[in-house]
Structures are given as C-alpha cells and as structure tokens.
Amino acid sequence: MTHIVEIADVTKRYGDANAVNQLTVTVDQPGIHGLLGRNGAGKTTLMKLVAGHLKPTSGEVRINGEACSPQRMSRSVSFVESRASQFNMGASSLLRAAHQLHNDFDDEFARTMLSKFELDPKKKYKRLSFGMQTMVSTIIGLAINTDVVMLDEPSLGFDVVMRRRFIDLLRESLDRHPRIILVSTHQMDDIARVADHLLVIDAGTLRARAPMSDIASQFASADDYFLSVLEGSTDE
C-alpha cells in the first residue's frame, strides 16, 4: 500500500548523537496532526527529513510512494521552518512570488488571511514583528496547497489573540483543502483545540500517537497526555 507519508526505520545522526533514531511511522489521514516533543526531541529534524531538506543516515522517507531526499525533494510537501527568513519585501509581493512559483497557490485564501490577521501587505518583511513574520510564512505555506504541509513551532512569537486566530487559520485551510497538516509545538493546549491526532516523539523515537478524540476521553488536557507518555504509562 502506498502511504502519503511513510518514514521507514529512519535514523539521522549528527556526530555521535541520534536526532532521529530508527523512527517508523506512516501518516495517511487528512487532518491536523500535532507533533509534540520536548526541546531537542527531534521534531524539527523529523520535519526536515520529510521535507527532503536532510538525508537520512539510514532508512527511507517516502512521500506518495516516492523516496524523498535532498536529491529528490517532493513537490507534494511544503515546510515552514521556525524563524524562516524570507526576502525583505512586502507580504503582498511575497504572496505574488509564491503564486508565480505555484499554480495551485490559493491566492484568495492567502489574501483573505492577510487581511484577517491585519497584516500590512506593503510593510517590508524585516519590519514585521516576529509573530507577524511567522504568520506570513505560515499563510504562504498553507496556500501552496501541497498534500502535506508542515509547520515547525508556528505559534512561537504569537500573542494570545494571534494564537486563537492561528487555530482558525489552520481549520479554515483544512476545510478548503483537506490534506495532512503536521504542526510541531510546545503550546499543547493550543494544538489540542484544533488537532485531529497527536504524535509524541522523544529522543528521536515515536513514543505514542492517538486520535484527539481518544485523548480527550482519557485525559484532562494535552499536557497530561504528553506527561503520561513521557512517564511511560501511555504507549502507542
């Protein structure tokens, strides 16, 4: 069977340390998948492997059945890295460039989101606050409309209002184009409001995954679920 995202026994080693360690997981269901983990758990490395930014030390990443690596990056994945640096142009110009680079770009969604988040379309990228810069990158990543969208710590730098709006943004984007949206975060209760599934990784290995409905029926909060996984009382 061909999976949309298939990570098969993947290890990524930096020197003596394994950032990702013999990790195997498949993701097929459209929806918002929260990727939870402590600092240094391997969340960003895992996303970079799926995006084809990094080459696995061993194992294989496949997207829609095709092997993915720096030599063969999948066009079906978009990745918005935390603190991604964009060209120092207005958000409007960046959206236009992204539109020209992708004919499936959902320009209407992107422009609506710009105005919903009250982002000045002409203000140069470097003059935006960190949270607003992240929002511009996230809007571009979602509007590109690939089968898999990965957002690395998108809510860093967001205030409370932006965090709530961000959740609306994810849900609206998914409603327009059902696909896999993988979001890594430390803000567990935020992602719990919107996620359909949670995956927990620790020390580069997948510790647990579960539908949000199951988690909600057993735990008072996503924090509790996460801590219970780390303490070893909950397994995949």
Partner 1 sequence: MSSPTIVSNGSISSKAWTVTRLSLSNLALAWAVLLACFALVTIPSVIQVVQAGPDEYFDNSYLLSSGNAFYVLIFIAPAVVALSHLMKVMYLNAAKETFLAGAVLLYALLAAAVSAANHAFHYTLDQSWEQTFQVVNLAAIFGWTDHGVLVGFLQQFAFMFLVAIAVHTLASLQRSWVGWLVDLMLIGLFSASLVTEPLVSVRSWLSEVLVSHSSAPVQIGSCLVAAALLYGIALKVLRRKEL
List residues near partner 1 by CB under 8 A: 4, 30, 48, 53-55, 64-65, 70-71, 73, 75-76, 78-81, 84-89, 94, 97-98, 100-104, 137, 140-141, 144-147, 177-179
Which residues sit opposite 183 in a β-bridge?
34, 151
The conformation of residue 82, written as its DSSP 8-state character, comes to T
Nearer Cβ to partner 1, position 79 or 219?
79
Q: How far is the CB of 83 from partner 1 (least distance, A)?
A: 11
Nearer Cβ to partner 1, position 87 or 130?
87
The conformation of residue 57, written as its DSSP 8-state character, comes to S
Q: How far is the CB of 143 from partner 1 (least distance, A)?
A: 10
Amino acid residing at 223: D
Amino acid residing at 143: A
Cα separation, 66 vs 23, in Å, equals 18
Determine contact, residues 109/173, Cβ cutoff 8 Å.
yes
Cα separation, 52 vs 56, in Å, equals 9
Nearer Cβ to partner 1, position 78 or 184?
78
Q: How far is the CB of 188 from partner 1 (least distance, A)?
A: 26
Q: How far is the CB of 185 from partner 1 (least distance, A)?
A: 19
Nearer Cβ to partner 1, position 177 or 186?
177
φ, ψ for residue 144, nearest 5 deg:
-70, -25
